Structure 1
Amino acid sequence: MLNFFERWTQPFPASSPDLPPRSLFAFCRYYARGFITPVILVGICSFLLAAMEVSLFAFMGKIVDWLSAANRETFLSDEKWRLTAMAVVLLLLLPLAHLLASLVRHQSLMGNFPMSVRWRMHNYLLGQSMSFYQDEFAGRISTKVMQTALAVRELVLKIMDVMVYVAVYFLSMFVLLGSIHKYLLAPILAWFVAYACLQWYFIPRLKQVSQEQAHARSTMTGRITDAYTNISTVKLFAHTRRESQYARDSMDGFLQTVYRQFRLVTYLDILMGCINYLLIFSVTAAGLSLWIDDRVGAGAVAVAVSLALRLNGMSHWIMWEVSSLFEQVGTVADGMNMLGLPRAVQDAPDARPLTVSAGDIRFEDMSFSYRRRVAGNAEEGSHLSVIEHLDLHIRPGEKIGLVGRSGAGKSTLVNALLRFYDVQSGRILIDGQDIAHVTQDSLRRHIAMVTQDTSLLHRSVRENILYGKPGASEAELWRAIEQAEAAEFIETLADPQGNHGLDAQVGERGVKLSGGQRQRIAIARVLLKDAPILILDEATSALDSEVEAAIQESLNTLMRGKTVIAIAHRLSTIARMDRLVVLDAGQIVEQGSHAELLAKNGIYARLWSRQTGGYLGQDD
């Protein structure tokens, strides 16, 4: 039975990761897809439980009246049907309703619901643009996903479970007391008005501070995670105290929101206690007065006092549930601000998979500028122009080198080709296909890239290399490793969990490996991918001269028959390319072979002279 309810809902739904709505209700409804039926069922069970519990109080009053007037010898025979009916309610209906509510809530919703929300959020965020991740802490993003998923579950369940229970309980109670005597209803109504006023005053303030608290919590987590992620930089610059203070500032900011929250809670709790004690006194006094005047029986007094005592206990529970409800509202609203941002780069509605037959690349009248962002939104009219009206044709199988000072637009050109950003005007064609009209995944599957700042996944060496071709055979895997000159050091690797060689974990971003080792694993990954277009961005900068010379032949093999774009500040590494393209301020100012550019005695010749006459030494 437990297994049936666990399988009733899907924690990993097969749905497209669309942009979620921006309103609170629509946002929660969007992520509750697939869970609406069990949520409604929990609400129905809460309705029945509340109604039957109030009926038990009414029955208790009947018993008091019966016992005060009934004949002991004939009591059971006289009241057997009503006693049997209440026994059925108490021993059968209530347990069944409670069982069903518990099974649906705990097996179908508590685990699967937030996991489904996380799954959908994660899939959407995986498709977010590069600019989104450049503007946020990785730890802050993951914290938002975790806490927003739980908040959506709690918000939906509290509305359909707790709120239904409370509403039905109060309504049933008012009907019961009103049917006994209208004077017994007066103290309850007065208490309800006072209670509603307290909630009306305090809850919006608790909501506001809860939203600020969620934001402060994610900022605190992001700062702490940032320090752990860059621990080598922290230690290198001896800034442990600085980082400690940086984290403490965010912790103190979070703590201030906690203080404000619990000050409000204290005020609310004290005032709640006052009106609850006043309620018990008023109901008891009214009941006794009516009993003395012989307008109600002892059972009615027992029911009224019992309900007042029950409200005393329930009111604190309701207070926390309502406070929690609005805390979840604040958390969800805060999460929507990040998780509901639209993607800057999206596939066109009619996008098709890219087909690469030759590897011909054209940049036609391309212009690109970075949008400056303020508080997560693009600032109108504020752009940083990087490339303007650039034209470049890279023929199939041609190997070009991009040369230029920092900020000349080399990396921007590559990022635009990978469609990490969309160009403002012009277009980029691969074999005659506009990359804006092909799917991003198919585009990047046909392009392999080795960067200077190699980032590895916190997984095994094997998993990192197979990232280039997940279905590769063991023979293909080892061939790529050997071509990248990585076999020798991989065999010596081990981790604290007892894994060795290819199964050893590399640590977060590959921190357990040297820069040269990370670079060789990255090269092995690209060798395995064997894409028709290859981008080398300072691909051998982290290698010593001996290792660089050893894998140069492998890189030459890798480049054979491919269209290659290489970026290097060390000009000797790209001097043998078919063509060198010199960029300056987003424009092509020179292009030609190494010898042709030296003969022009322009920017390239000056850069070459500066390097060969400085720290690099002469290179044939």
Structure 2
Amino acid sequence: MSATPTHIPPSSASLSTPAALWRLKPFVRPIIWRLVGGAGSALAAAILALMIPMVLEQIVRGLGAETVNIGLIVGGAAVVLLLGLGEAAMVWLRRWFVLTPATEVEFRMRSEIYARLQTLPVAFHDRWQSGQLLSRMMQDIGLIRRWIAFGLILLVVNVLTIIIGSVLLFQWHWMLGTIFLVTGIPMWIQGFLFEKRYGALARQSQDQAGDLATSVEESVHGIRVLKAFGRGKHALSRFSRQAETLRETELSKARAVGTIWFWLDLMPQIAFGLSLITGIWLIWQGAIELPEMFAFFAMATVLRWPIESIGFLFSFMLDARTATDRVFDIFTETNSITDPENPVHIAEPRGELAFENAHFRYQDAGASERDLLDGIDLVLRPGETMALVGLTGSGKTTLTTLPARLYDVTGGRVTLDGVDVRDLPLAELRTHIAMAFEDATLFSASVRENVLLGRADLDPHSEEGERVMRQALEVAQAGFVDTLPEGTETIIGEEGLSLSGGQRQRLALARAVAAAPKVLVLDDPLSALDVDTEALVEEALRHVLAETTALIVAHRPSTVALADRVALLESGRVTAVGTHAELLKTSSHYRHVISSLEAEEAARTGTIPIITDEMLAAEAPATKAQAAEDEEVQA
């Protein structure tokens, strides 16, 4: 399925309501004839209902004749019965035409939005609350489906019914028809004013519902934190304020609907009263007869429901327009990370990863702020393991997002085997590069499915799939999975919260290893492991990384020991590259970073920092030349 439907017009608040709803055309086109059939059935039902007053006129004439015409009365009653049955049949046919196709539209829209969310860059998800996306995916699309199946057809048919019925009213007397027509003018004026007010309230309400959904989601995901800090009442208070704001908006909507309903109910009553007075006068003048008067009011009664329904259907249409705007907020979002027009392919990747004067800044960064990554030059040779170290805020994690194009550089480039990663198809690039994050995210699926997530080429339950999964679990020291209730088929709870932090990290690491990439990017994937488990994982990783290029963000001295070389990141720039021993001798800032890492590790484990003679000797440069080199690096 494509990421977006074809020919989607841009979303704009300046669009009229019909133009805004017309954007649904790509989704509705496959079922357009079913909708036409539904509208035709509904219109046929309305016409049959409008024919009943004309038959009733003939029955009343038969009753008022000097000699009662029994045949006319019985025949007329039979015709009324048939017309009623026909109307009921047409109503059933309308539902048959539209209900199932409308659910197909709902399905396609949800699928398109989900596909779109998968293709939009991480920067988009950084800006959007998950509750807002969820409310659009579920609430807004459901509302659009109901409007297509019910509101759209009834609005069109009821307007046509009012027009046809109003014309028919003139056949009995022009004065009665004019009264009925003129008294409808205030309703259309109020309808125009209603659209302006209700449209804004509808958008406000749906946005607030999205915020409320976000609060619920955050509270559920963070329930352990709220309980641990005793902040349940605080969260409830915040939620109550948001819920109260939404309630006030809904009350404003209800008052707006109440106002339009007032006019829709009042004006027909006035029309009935004026028509009754006028009709009596016309009968007295001999301009019309009693059967015609009876038929007129029967027709007006038939028109009463279509007239009164206009308020509800109009508000329904405005809700659907707002829901459409909210859905198209996602469809029209610019996707800056896409496949290249002229893709380049790497037949046999070697795994050389290079950053060439790479710059990066977030979109919302001020013009006066410096780039978060400010000219990175770094080359990882094929099969090399490089540790990336630096103080908090130096840009380490941001750097790791660039190779797989989670973000794109804003200057310079990142290359894989000499090819700019932006020239590679995204699917191919992300088979060559795999990632494991410090904050391990797992999905509500089995252990097997989580570990083999990056191996679309494998059947998870095949012998090869079993072998790859077991090897990855062994590297990650994740043997605990066999103690789970159903082993590797155990369904992990939402986001893996049923597992410990260390268990989640090991499964995330196993997932990255199972992908068998040429380049492995690890953002401190062992931070939640105990010392003994970490040592076992590091030993196993040495064998895996022997033929894989690896970039590892190191927050522990033990992780640095995995690397062939170390890159020192300082204020968004690589200021030194070398082996651990070389940097200890040549860079005072590196010694400061390592000392900070050891202090953090000691605080975490309750051990005494290990300070080697080499580090002590390196604390004070032995020569003026060494001191000068340190100053140059600092500069």
Q: Which amino acid aligns with 2:41?
A: C
Contact 1:371–1:382 (CA<8 Å) still a contact in 2?
Answer: no
Q: Give a deviation string over 1:194-250, Cα, whole Å, max 9, x none.
A: 221222222321222111111111111111211112222222332212211221221
1:580 to 2:566 alignment: yes
Contact 2:121–2:335 (CA<8 Å) still a contact in 1?
Answer: yes
- Counterpart of 1:5 in structure 2 is none
1:597 to 2:589 alignment: no
Q: Which amino acid aligns with 1:303?
A: A
- Counterpart of 1:108 in structure 2 is 101
Q: Which amino acid aligns with 1:118?
A: R
* CA distance in 1 between partners of 2:513 and 2:127 (Å): 32
- Counterpart of 2:243 in structure 1 is 251
Change (3 A) 1:252 1:87: closer
Change (3 A) 1:619 1:449: farther
Q: Which amino acid aligns with 2:98?
A: R
Shift of 1:165: 1.0
1:166 to 2:158 alignment: yes
Shift of 1:118: 1.1
1:535 to 2:529 alignment: no
**TM-score (ref. length: structure 1):** 0.88
Contact 1:576–1:594 (CA<8 Å) still a contact in 2?
Answer: no
Contact 1:364–1:427 (CA<8 Å) still a contact in 2?
Answer: yes
- Please say which of residues 589-598 and 439-448 is displaced more in the overlay: 439-448
- Please say which of residues 420-429 and 330-339 is displaced more in the overlay: 330-339
1:264 to 2:256 alignment: yes
Paired residues for 1:134-213 under 5 Å: 134-157=126-149, 160-213=152-205
- Please say which of residues 45-54 and 442-451 is displaced more in the overlay: 45-54
Shift of 1:566: 0.8
Shift of 1:84: 8.7
Shift of 1:90: 5.1
Query: Aligned match of 1:461 in 447, 461, 475?
Result: 447
Contact 1:361–1:429 (CA<8 Å) still a contact in 2?
Answer: yes
- Counterpart of 1:35 in structure 2 is 31
Question: Secondary structure of the equivalent of 1:358?
Answer: coil
Shift of 1:596: 1.2
Q: Give a deviation string over 1:375-410, Cα, whole Å, max 9, x none.
A: xxxx8x476511223222211111111111122222
Query: Aligned match of 1:301 in 286, 293, 303?
Result: 293
1:360 to 2:352 alignment: yes
Contact 1:354–1:439 (CA<8 Å) still a contact in 2?
Answer: no
Q: Give a deviation string over 1:315-369, Cα, whole Å, max 9, x none.
A: 3322212122212223333443455322232222333555452111122222211
Q: Which amino acid aligns with 2:302?
A: R
1:493 to 2:484 alignment: yes
* CA distance in 2 between partners of 1:16 and 1:42 (Å): 30
Shift of 1:180: 1.8
Question: Secondary structure of the equivalent of 1:402?
Answer: strand
Q: Which runs of 4+ in 1 moved over 6 A?
A: 82-88
Shift of 1:512: 0.7
Shift of 1:105: 1.6
- Please say which of residues 512-521 and 112-121 is displaced more in the overlay: 112-121
* CA distance in 2 between partners of 1:551 and 1:208 (Å): 57
- Counterpart of 2:630 in structure 1 is none
- Counterpart of 2:223 in structure 1 is 231
Change (3 A) 1:384 1:105: farther
- Counterpart of 2:626 in structure 1 is none
Q: Which amino acid aligns with 1:249?
A: R
- Counterpart of 2:535 in structure 1 is 549
Contact 1:57–1:303 (CA<8 Å) still a contact in 2?
Answer: yes
Q: Give a deviation string over 1:429-478, Cα, whole Å, max 9, x none.
A: 11222111222222112212222111111223222122132524334323
- Counterpart of 1:571 in structure 2 is 557
Question: Secondary structure of the equivalent of 1:419?
Answer: coil
Shift of 1:124: 0.7
* CA distance in 2 between partners of 1:157 and 1:384 (Å): 53
Paired residues for 1:306-321 under 5 Å: 306-321=298-313
Change (3 A) 1:385 1:518: same
Q: Which amino acid aligns with 1:219?
A: D
- Counterpart of 2:15 in structure 1 is none
Q: Which amino acid aligns with 2:529?
A: L
Q: Which amino acid aligns with 2:397?
A: S
Change (3 A) 1:612 1:88: closer
Query: Aligned match of 2:277 in 265, 270, 285?
Result: 285
Question: Secondary structure of the equivalent of 1:106?
Answer: helix
- Counterpart of 1:389 in structure 2 is 375
Contact 1:51–1:168 (CA<8 Å) still a contact in 2?
Answer: no
* CA distance in 2 between partners of 1:282 and 1:17 (Å): 55
Query: Aligned match of 2:52 in 36, 52, 56?
Result: 56
Q: Give a deviation string over 1:519-567, Cα, whole Å, max 9, x none.
A: 1111222222111111121121111011112222221122121111111
- Counterpart of 2:2 in structure 1 is 15
Q: Which amino acid aligns with 2:233?
A: R
Query: Aligned match of 1:65 in 53, 61, 66?
Result: 61
Change (3 A) 1:244 1:151: same
Change (3 A) 1:527 1:416: closer
Where structure 1 has 5 or more consecutive residues not aligned to the other structure, the ranges are 1-13, 374-378, 495-499
- Counterpart of 1:443 in structure 2 is 429
* CA distance in 2 between partners of 1:392 and 1:114 (Å): 49
Question: Secondary structure of the equivalent of 2:359?
Answer: strand
* CA distance in 1 between partners of 2:347 and 2:264 (Å): 69
Query: Aligned match of 2:394 in 408, 418, 422?
Result: 408
Question: Secondary structure of the equivalent of 1:420?
Answer: coil
Change (3 A) 1:112 1:315: same
* CA distance in 2 between partners of 1:613 and 1:454 (Å): 25
1:348 to 2:340 alignment: yes
- Counterpart of 2:546 in structure 1 is 560
Q: Which amino acid aligns with 2:99?
A: H
- Provide the aligned length of Structure 1 versus Structure 2: 591
| Identical pairs, percent | 24
- Counterpart of 1:44 in structure 2 is 40
Contact 2:446–2:489 (CA<8 Å) still a contact in 1?
Answer: yes
Contact 2:21–2:321 (CA<8 Å) still a contact in 1?
Answer: no
Q: Which amino acid aligns with 2:197?
A: R
Question: Secondary structure of the equivalent of 2:491?
Answer: coil
* CA distance in 1 between partners of 2:370 and 2:58 (Å): 80
Contact 1:435–1:443 (CA<8 Å) still a contact in 2?
Answer: yes
1:618 to 2:604 alignment: no
Q: Which amino acid aligns with 1:317?
A: S
Change (3 A) 1:364 1:482: closer
Where structure 2 has 5 or more consecutive residues not aligned to the other structure, the ranges are 13-19, 603-608, 613-635
Paired residues for 1:77-88 under 5 Å: none
Change (3 A) 1:218 1:87: same
Change (3 A) 1:613 1:319: closer
Shift of 1:146: 1.4
Q: Which amino acid aligns with 1:557?
A: H
Contact 1:129–1:343 (CA<8 Å) still a contact in 2?
Answer: yes
Contact 2:565–2:579 (CA<8 Å) still a contact in 1?
Answer: yes
Q: Give a deviation string over 1:301-321, Cα, whole Å, max 9, x none.
A: 112112333344443322212
Shift of 1:614: 7.3
